[in-house]
C-alpha cells in the first residue's frame, strides 16, 4: 500500500490517491458520513456494485484510445485486484469488477504508472470525453478530432468548476457529419467542420437519454476550435449554478434547458463570460503525438477457411484515409474480454500496427493502421484469440449494459437476452450479419447505459406483475430510433412490454415483417412509414401475462426464480449532506482556494471560494429544512431568509458578495479579496450555527 507514495512522479496524482486512502480510513473509522464518502469515491472511479463488499472500478480512457503498454498495465491490475475480465462500456471506458475498497488507492497508483486514471470516471463530474473511434483515420473527416478531445479532457480533469455538479456531464466529438459520436444525445456534442479554411465544430447542447430522452439543440452551427474550451467552461458554470441538485430525476442539463429555454440559457451563459479565465484556447493539433507504424516483413500465412475469411473481411475491415492502411474491427460479445487474450492483442498491435487500439461506443475494439498486406496475418492471429466473429458494427453486433449481473439499478438481465438474440440472428437470420441498417441495443433499466432508446430495435429491462401478483422479468420493446447524421437523430417509441422469455419471438416478428415489407428502406425509415400503432398490433399478443409458464419466471442466464431487487444507484448519486459535514467541507474548500492562490491559479482559487460560500449558505438553509435544489436558489433564499430577515448581518448583502464572481476578471487581486470574503462568511455562518445549537 505504501509503494505508490514514492513511485508516482506527479505530485497532483499522488495527492489524489493519498486523499482517497485517507478518506477510506476516515469512513471505516466512522469519521466520514457514508453519503459524503460515496460522492468522493465516485469522483475517483470507485462505484458500488450489486454484490456487497466489492466495488466496480471504472478506468477512464479519453476518446477510447489505449496504447499497447496501457492495455498491458490494465491487464496486470485486473489480474491482481479483480477477476481478469475487462468490460468495455458504451462510453469507451474499461470497467473491472469485484475489487476490495481498501485496495483501490494501490490499484489507482499502479494504473498511473502508464498514465491511466480513474479520476472523474463516475460521479457528478465531467465524465469520459468520447469520440468517433475512427477519429484520425476516417475517410470522411475534415480533420482529426483527437487532439481537441484530448485537450478538453485535460482542461476539465480536476477543474474545480466541475467537481460537485448536480449530476454528470457528458461530452462527445464526431469525426464527420455521419455523427458517429452521437452528438444529439450529449450534454455537449461537437461535430468537426471547416469554414473558410478554419477548423471548428457544430455544437449541440443538452441532449440526453434516460427515461425522458431529449434531442440536443443546436447552440452553434460553427464555432472555431479555439472557442470550444471557453464555451464549455461557461456551460459547465451555468449548469453548476442553476442545475437541479436535490431531485435526481431532474438534475441533468436537458431539464435545465427545458426550464429556461435556449435563449434563456444563452443569457445565463453571457453572465459567466467575465469570470471565465480564457476567452480563446488555441489547441496545438500539429504537436499531437504522431502515429508510428511498425516496420516488419509480411509473414506468410495460409488461410484455412477462405470463405470465413472473406465473410470476415466484408464486415470487419474499415477503410482508412491513409493510403495502404485499413482498420480492423473486433466484435466483442457484450464488451467482455479477458486479460490473457488482451495481452496477446496488445503485443500484436505493438509489433505489427501502430501500438494503439480504439474502444468503440458499441463496446468493440478497432485496430487502426494495419497495412493492407498484413490483413491475412492479422486474421490468423486474431483467430487464435477468438476475435474473428463477423458482423462488426452490424445488426448482429448487439450492445448491452451489465444489467443485473453487477449493477445496482438492474431490473432484468440485459446480457442474457443479448446472447440469445445474437444466437438467433446467427442461426436464423444470417443475412443480417452484413446489415448495418439495423442497430439493436439493450439496457437493464430505464437509465439507458445500453442506449436502447436511440436504437432501431431496443429492449429495456423491466418487470411485469400477473393477476396473482407474481412478478416476472420483462422487456419494454422500443422501435424506430436511429442516428440520421449532422446532429440529428430519432428516439425510439415504447411500443409494448413483453415477458423477457418472449423477447426472441418479438425479434423474429420484427425482422420477418421487415424482410417481407421493408423493401429498400432502412429500418428507421420503415418504422417511420408504418408507425407505432402498426407495430403495437403486430406484437401485442406477446404482452398477455395470463398464460405464463414456470420458465417465464426465470430470467435469461439465471436458474433461480426472478426477484425484483433494485439497489441504490450511484451513476449520479446526489448527496444531501449533514450540516456539520457541509461546514467542514466549506473549510476544505477554503484551504484548497489558499493552495491554488499560492500556485498562481487565480480562476481556480476563485471558484473554490465561491463554492465555499454557497456550501456554507446551504448548511444554514439545510438547518431550516429548506430546499437547496440549485446554487442560484441557495443564494436567493439565503439572502431573503437570513440577511433581509435580519438574522445575519452581511454587509452589502449575501447575493452581492457571492456574485462578485460574475463581475470581476479572475485576477490575483480579486482572488485574494474573494478568498477573504469566503473566510469571513464561513466564520459568520459557523458562529451562527454554534449559537443556534447553544440556544437549542
> With contact defined as beta carbons under 8 Å apart, do 441 and 422 qualify?
no
Q: DSSP for 449-463, please give it.
A: TT-GGGSSEEEEEEE
- The residues of the chain that CATH labels 3.90.480.20 are 4-112
Residues 6 or more apart whose CB falls under 8 angstroms from that of 214 comprise: 206, 207, 208, 254, 257, 258
Q: Evaluate if residue 384 carries a pLDDT over 70.
A: yes
Q: What is the pLDDT of residue 696?
A: 63
- Each residue's pLDDT tens digit, 414-453: 999 999 999 999 999 999 988 888 999 999 888 888 899 9
Q: Evaluate if residue 11 carries a pLDDT over 90.
A: no
SS3 state of residue 207:
coil
Residue 337: strand pairing partners: 86
Neighbours of 398 (CB within 10 A): 28
Mean pLDDT, rounded, of the chain: 92
> With contact defined as beta carbons under 8 Å apart, do 433 and 315 qualify?
yes
Which range (203-207, 385-389, 518-522, 678-682) has the least confidence?
518-522
Q: Which CATH number fits domain 579-695: 3.30.70, 1.10.10, 1.10.3470, 1.20.120?
A: 1.20.120
CA distances from 104 to 52, 335, 689 (A): 16, 23, 36
- Supply the DSSP symbol for 7: H
Tell me the mean pLDDT in the region 62-91.
97
CB environment 512-538: b (16+ within 10 A), e (fewer) = ebbeeebeeebbbbbbeebebeebbeb
SS3 state of residue 411:
coil
Cell 465531467, residue? 126
Distance CA(398)–CA(422), nearest Å, equals 7
Tell me the mean pLDDT in the region 95-106.
94
- Each residue's pLDDT tens digit, 333-348: 989 999 999 999 999 9
Q: What is the pLDDT of residue 578?
A: 59
Distance CA(31)–CA(34), nearest Å, equals 9
Enumerate the H helices of 317-364 as residue ranges: 339-352
- The residues of the chain that CATH labels 1.20.120 are 579-695
- Supply the DSSP symbol for 163: S
How many angstroms separate the first and last alpha carbons of the chain? 45
- Each residue's pLDDT tens digit, 259-304: 999 999 999 999 999 999 999 999 999 999 999 999 999 999 999 9
Q: Evaluate if residue 5 carries a pLDDT over 70.
A: no
> Strand pairing of 440-443 and 399-400?
parallel
CATH architecture, range 4-112: Alpha-Beta Complex (3.90)
Q: Residue 211 — φ and ψ, nearest 5°?
A: -70, -20
List Cβ<8 Å contacts ≥24 apart for 188-194.
Answer: 188/232, 188/235, 189/216, 189/487, 190/145, 190/148, 190/228, 191/486, 191/487, 192/141, 192/142, 192/143, 192/145, 193/142, 193/222, 194/142, 194/143
What is the enclosing helix (H) or strand (E) of 336? strand 336-338
Maximum CA extent, the chain: 87
- The residues of the chain that CATH labels 3.30.70.3340 are 306-385
Q: What is the pLDDT of residue 514?
A: 96
Distance CA(454)–CA(544), nearest Å, equals 26
Half-sphere exposure of 164 (CA within 13 A, CB side): 23
- Supply the DSSP symbol for 63: G
Q: What is the pLDDT of residue 565?
A: 61
What is the enclosing helix (H) or strand (E) of 149? helix 146-156
Class at the top of the CATH hierarchy for domain 130-287: alpha beta
Q: Evaluate if residue 363 carries a pLDDT over 50.
A: yes
Give me the numbers of helices (H) and strands (E) for the chain, helices first please. Answer: 20, 22
Cell 449494459, residue? 401
> Strand pairing of 317-319 and 325-330?
antiparallel
Q: Evaluate if residue 566 carries a pLDDT over 80.
A: no
Residue 172: strand pairing partners: 130, 189
Q: What sign for the dihedral angle of Cα 327, 333, 336, 342? A: negative
Distance CA(229)–CA(148), nearest Å, equals 9
- Each residue's pLDDT tens digit, 23-55: 898 888 888 777 778 878 888 888 888 787 889
Cell 485537450, residue? 151
Class at the top of the CATH hierarchy for domain 399-553: alpha beta
CA distances from 77 to 6, 84, 87 (A): 19, 9, 14
Q: Evaluate if residue 409 carries a pLDDT over 90.
A: no
> Strand pairing of 130-131 and 171-174?
parallel
- Reported in sequence order, the residue ranges of 65-182 that DSSP labels E, i.e. its strands, are 65-67, 85-88, 94-99, 130-131, 171-174
Q: Which CATH number fits domain 306-385: 3.40.30.10, 3.30.70.3340, 3.30.70.260, 3.10.450.40?
A: 3.30.70.3340
> With contact defined as beta carbons under 8 Å apart, do 416 and 558 qualify?
yes
455: which 3 cell numbers? Answer: 436504437
Tell me the mean pLDDT in the region 70-87.
97
Does 180 or 35 have the greater pLDDT score?
Answer: 180
Residues 6 or more apart whose CB falls under 8 angstroms from that of 17 comprise: 4, 8, 105, 108, 109, 112
- The residues of the chain that CATH labels 3.30.413.10 are 130-287, 399-553
Amino acid at each position: 500500500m505504501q509503494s505508490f507514495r514514492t513511485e508516482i512522479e506527479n505530485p497532483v496524482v499522488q495527492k489524489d490517491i493519498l486523499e482517497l486512502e485517507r478518506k477510506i480510513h476516515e469512513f471505516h473509522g466512522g469519521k466520514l458520513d457514508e453519503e459524503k464518502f460515496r460522492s468522493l469515491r465516485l469522483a475517483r472511479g470507485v462505484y458500488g456494485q450489486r454484490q456487497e463488499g466489492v466495488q466496480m472500478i471504472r478506468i477512464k480512457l479519453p476518446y477510447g484510445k489505449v496504447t499497447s503498454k496501457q492495455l498491458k498495465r490494465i491487464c496486470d491490475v485486473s489480474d491482481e485486484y479483480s477477476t481478469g475480465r475487462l468490460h468495455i462500456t458504451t462510453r469507451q471506458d474499461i470497467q473491472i469488477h469485484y475489487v476490495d475498497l481498501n485496495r483501490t488507492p494501490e490499484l489507482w497508483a499502479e494504473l498511473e504508472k502508464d498514465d491511466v486514471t480513474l479520476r472523474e470516471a463516475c460521479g457528478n463530474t465531467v465524465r469520459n470525453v468520447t469520440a468517433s473511434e475512427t477519429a484520425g483515420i476516417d475517410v470522411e473527416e475534415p480533420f482529426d478530432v483527437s487532439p481537441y478531445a484530448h485537450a478538453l479532457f485535460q482542461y476539465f480533469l480536476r477543474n474545480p468548476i466541475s467537481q460537485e455538479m448536480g449530476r454528470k456531464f457528458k461530452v462527445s466529438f464526431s469525426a464527420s457529419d455521419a455523427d458517429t459520436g452521437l452528438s444529439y444525445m450529449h450534454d455537449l456534442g461537437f461535430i468537426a467542420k471547416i469554414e473558410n479554411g478554419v477548423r471548428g465544430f457544430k455544437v449541440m447542447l443538452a441532449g440526453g437519454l434516460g427515461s425522458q430522452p431529449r434531442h440536443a439543440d443546436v447552440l452553434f452551427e460553427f464555432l472555431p476550435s479555439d472557442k470550444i474550451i471557453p464555451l464549455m467552461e461557461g456551460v459547465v458554470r451555468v449548469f453548476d449554478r442553476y442545475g437541479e441538485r436535490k431531485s435526481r430525476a431532474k438534475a441533468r442539463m436537458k431539464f435545465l434547458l427545458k426550464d429556461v429555454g435556449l435563449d434563456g440559457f444563452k443569457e445565463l451563459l453571457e453572465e459567466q463570460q467575465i469570470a471565465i479565465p480564457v476567452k480563446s484556447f488555441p489547441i496545438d493539433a500539429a504537436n499531437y503525438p504522431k502515429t508510428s507504424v511498425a516496420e516488419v516483413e509480411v509473414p506468410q500465412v495460409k488461410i484455412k477457411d477462405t470463405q470465413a475469411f472473406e465473410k470476415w473481411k466484408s464486415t470487419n475491415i474499415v477503410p482508412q484515409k491513409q493510403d495502404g492502411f485499413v482498420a480492423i474491427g473486433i466484435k466483442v460479445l457484450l464488451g467482455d474480454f479477458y486479460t490473457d487474450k488482451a495481452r496477446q492483442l496488445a503485443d500484436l498491435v505493438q509489433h505489427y500496427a501502430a501500438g494503439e487500439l480504439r474502444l468503440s461506443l458499441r463496446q468493440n475494439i478497432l485496430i487502426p493502421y494495419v497495412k493492407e498486406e498484413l490483413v491475412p496475418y492479422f486474421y490468423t492471429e486474431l483467430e487464435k484469440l477468438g476475435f474473428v466473429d463477423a458482423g462488426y458494427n452490424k445488426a448482429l453486433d448487439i450492445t448491452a449494459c451489465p444489467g443485473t449481473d453487477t449493477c445496482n439499478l438492474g431490473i432484468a438481465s440485459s446480457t442474457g437476452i443479448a446472447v440469445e438474440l445474437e444466437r438467433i440472428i446467427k442461426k436464423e437470420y444470417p443475412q443480417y450479419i452484413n446489415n448495418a441498417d439495423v442497430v439493436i441495443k439493450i439496457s437493464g433499466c430505464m437509465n439507458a447505459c445500453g442506449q436502447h432508446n436511440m436504437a432501431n430495435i431496443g429492449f429495456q429491462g423491466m418487470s411485469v406483475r400477473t393477476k396473482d401478483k407474481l412478478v416476472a422479468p420483462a422487456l419494454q420493446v422500443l422501435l424506430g430510433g436511429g442516428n440520421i447524421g449532422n446532429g440529428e437523430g430519432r428516439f425510439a417509441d415504447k411500443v409494448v412490454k413483453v415477458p423477457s422469455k418472449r423477447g426472441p419471438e418479438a425479434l423474429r416478428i420484427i425482422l420477418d415483417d421487415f424482410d417481407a415489407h421493408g423493401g429498400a428502406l432502412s429500418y428507421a425509415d420503415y418504422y417511420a412509414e408504418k408507425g407505432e400503432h402498426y407495430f403495437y398490433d403486430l406484437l401485442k399478443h406477446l404482452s398477455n401475462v395470463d398464460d405464463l409458464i414456470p420458465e417465464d419466471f426465470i430470467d435469461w442466464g439465471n436458474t433461480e426464480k426472478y426477484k425484483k431487487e433494485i439497489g441504490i444507484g450511484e451513476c449520479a448519486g446526489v448527496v444531501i449532506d449533514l450540516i456539520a459535514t457541509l461546514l467542514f467541507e466549506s473549510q476544505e474548500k477554503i484551504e484548497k482556494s489558499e493552495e491554488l492562490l499560492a500556485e498562481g491559479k487565480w480562476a481556480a482559487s476563485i471558484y473554490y471560494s465561491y463554492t465555499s460560500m454557497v456550501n456554507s449558505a446551504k448548511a444554514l438553509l439545510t438547518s431550516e429544512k429548506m430546499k437547496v435544489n440549485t446554487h442560484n436558489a441557495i443564494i436567493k433564499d439565503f439572502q431573503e431568509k437570513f440577511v433581509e430577515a435580519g438574522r445575519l448581518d452581511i454587509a452589502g448583502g449575501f447575493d452581492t458578495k457571492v456574485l462578485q464572481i460574475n463581475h470581476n476578471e479572475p485576477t490575483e487581486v480579486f482572488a485574494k479579496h474573494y478568498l477573504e470574503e469566503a473566510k469571513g462568511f464561513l466564520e459568520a455562518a459557523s458562529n451562527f450555527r454554534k449559537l443556534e445549537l447553544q440556544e437549542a
